[in-house]
């Protein structure tokens, strides 16, 4: 279908309901709202198709298994992966990164080795590597950013050394919207034989991602930011890497043979999906992938770029407002501060006008420190936003400034 934002807005029930001002939802970077097809898929699965998967011999279990595995293939297609077995269902990006840190990191990173990240990272792609380095006697290296939150590519390259065992970088900054030149990062790392993990939580919902074209080794994203259910996400890993990794958790569903003396483990991806998974969540995630694919990720990217340009023009007309993070390549995330008004106060006042934004450090405290602010107000865009949402944002900011004048 063509990108018709007013038609798309009708797919989101939460935008049609409310007792106060109409909702201008500008917090998609934290969590996206859900379209009716995803809501319907969850209800339909629980009312007509639910059973546990993989081990049942009855028809309902076989049906649930088929739907779960079909969802895995939808995620594979959405990311452009070669094989469905390269897609591991997880709770979200955080668990995906922790899985790689535990299963790949502990077997490849030792005393004196290094992990290279960037100063743009969400805590989910910082703390797991920090803690792994402490545990293994390794060192965490951080590629810096400039005042506009551009990644310093020359400094990144200089930090790639003979002891670098992994690069872990965000594809898009959740805090300031910087779109990282990941192709260049991957090229530089792979030239030295270093694998790369990308945090795609903010990228996968915003523009086309093809893991084969990127030649990335691991890619993680969360369903709830991709207009799907919460508590579900996916890790892409190159098959040869996943095959060589030990399990993340142990228990039912991930074994091949168990004896009191020893256990052998299932092939991937089941090896990394211990216990009963979020079956309905996976099905819902598959529907979310279908929904975005039916719109077209190129169209999603163009719509967001138009929104961002309009928002930057509107906010640029407010002299008391300063945008934090002005990288040339950005996605639909606008972080800003207002002179003399705490970000939390801004968020509270805007909420009174029906404008939902995020205020805080956005799980990126080191980045906030580097940019010289304790917190920002963050307006983040989604496929359901229109120019009216942005006009309401600008008007609410002006009312906030008058209130605190």
The residues carrying an active-site annotation are 363
Please give the C-alpha separations between residue 339 and each of 265, 287, 391, 397, in angstroms, as whole numbers: 58, 43, 20, 11
Copy the structure tokens of residue 362: 């956005």
Find tokens 């142990």 and name the residue: 250
277: phi then psi, degrees, rounded to nearest 5: -80, 180
Planar angle of CA 56, 61, 66, nearest 5 degrees: 115
Cα–Cα distance for residue pair 140/126, rounded to 1 Å: 9
Q: Indicate the helix (H) or strand (E) that contains 127.
A: helix 127-136
Nearest to 180 by CA among 161, 200, 208, 164: 200
Q: Is 269 exposed, middle or buried (0-12, 13-18, 19+ CB in 10 A)?
A: buried
359: phi then psi, degrees, rounded to nearest 5: -135, 130
Cα–Cα distance for residue pair 347/397, rounded to 1 Å: 9
Cα–Cα distance for residue pair 68/65, rounded to 1 Å: 5
Q: For 45-116, where are the alpha helices, taking DSSP H only?
A: 59-79, 93-100, 106-108
Asked if 302 and 375 touch (Cβ cutoff 8 Å), the reply is no
Please give the C-alpha separations between residue 18 and each of 8, 15, 23, 144, 354, in angstroms, as whole numbers: 18, 8, 8, 44, 10
- Strand 333-338 with 376-380, pairing: antiparallel
Asked if 259 and 116 touch (Cβ cutoff 8 Å), the reply is no
DSSP 14: G
State the maximum Cα–Cα separation within the chain, in Å, rounded to a whole number. 73
Cα–Cα distance for residue pair 87/211, rounded to 1 Å: 11
């Amino acid at each position: 279908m063509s990108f018709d934002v007013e038609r798309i807005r009708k797919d989101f029930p939460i935008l049609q309901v409310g007792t106060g001002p109409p909702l201008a939802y500008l917090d998609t970077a934290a969590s996206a709202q859900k379209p009716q097809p995803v809501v319907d898929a969850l209800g339909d699965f629980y009312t007509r198709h639910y059973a546990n998967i993989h081990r049942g011999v009855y028809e309902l279990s076989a049906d649930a298994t088929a739907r779960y595995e079909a969802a895995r293939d939808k995620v594979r297609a959405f990311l452009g992966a070669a094989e469905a077995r390269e897609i591991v269902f997880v709770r979200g990006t955080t668990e995906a990164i922790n899985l790689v840190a535990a299963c790949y990191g502990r077997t490849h990173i030792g005393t004196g080795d290094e992990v290279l990240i960037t100063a743009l990272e969400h805590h989910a792609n910082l703390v797991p590597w920090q803690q792994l380095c402490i545990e293994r006697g390794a060192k965490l290296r951080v590629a810096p950013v400039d005042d506009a939150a551009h990644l310093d590519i020359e400094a990144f390259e200089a930090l790639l050394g003979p002891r670098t065992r992994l690069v872990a970088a965000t594809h898009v900054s959740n805090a300031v919207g910087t779109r990282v030149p990941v192709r260049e990062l991957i090229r530089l790392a792979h030239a030295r034989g270093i694998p790369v993990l990308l945090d795609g939580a903010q990228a996968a919902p915003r523009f086309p991602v093809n893991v084969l074209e990127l030649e990335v080794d691991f890619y993680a994203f969360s369903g709830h930011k991709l207009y799907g259910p919460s508590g579900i996400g996916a890790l892409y890993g190159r098959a040869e890497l996943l095959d060589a990794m030990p399990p993340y958790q142990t228990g039912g569903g991930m074994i091949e043979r168990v004896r009191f003396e020893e256990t052998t483990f299932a092939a991937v991806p089941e090896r990394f999906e211990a216990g009963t998974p979020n079956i309905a969540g996976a099905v819902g995630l598959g529907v979310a992938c279908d929904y975005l694919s039916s719109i077209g990720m190129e169209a999603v990217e163009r719509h967001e770029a138009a929104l961002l340009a309009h928002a930057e023009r509107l906010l640029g007309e407010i002299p008391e407002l300063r945008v934090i993070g002005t990288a040339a390549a950005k996605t639909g995330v606008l972080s800003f501060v207002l002179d003399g008004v705490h970000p939390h106060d801004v968020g509270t006042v805007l909420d009174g006008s029906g404008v939902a934004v995020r205020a805080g450090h956005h799980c990126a405290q080191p980045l906030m420190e580097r940019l010289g602010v304790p917190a920002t107000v963050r307006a983040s865009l989604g496929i359901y936003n229109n120019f009216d949402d942005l006009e309401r944002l600008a008007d609410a900011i002006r009312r906030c400034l008058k209130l605190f004048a």
